[in-house]
Amino acid sequence: MLTGRARAKAKKFCSKGCQITLQTQKEKRDRYARYLAEVVHDGENLSDYLMEIGAEKPG
């Protein structure tokens, strides 16, 4: 779940209506057996982007 700051930065990463790619790996599942996916837009990973700008930190 994203914090308010991370949510705002994610919206700037990919605006409404943009094309994203969800990259999944069948062997990657969480503890509830759900597939994990990476969100990619224009070749950039959303998680990496949020970490680079420090948006994943609370506050």
- Rounded mean pLDDT of 36-45? 91
Q: Where are the domains of the chain?
A: 4-52
Burial code of 14-43, b = ≥16 C-beta within 10 A, e = fewer? beeeeeeeeeeeeeeeeeeeeeeeebbbee
Q: Nearest Cα to 40, choosing from 56, 15, 19? A: 19
pTM above 0.85, yes or no: no
Q: Judge whether residue 34 has pLDDT over 90.
A: no
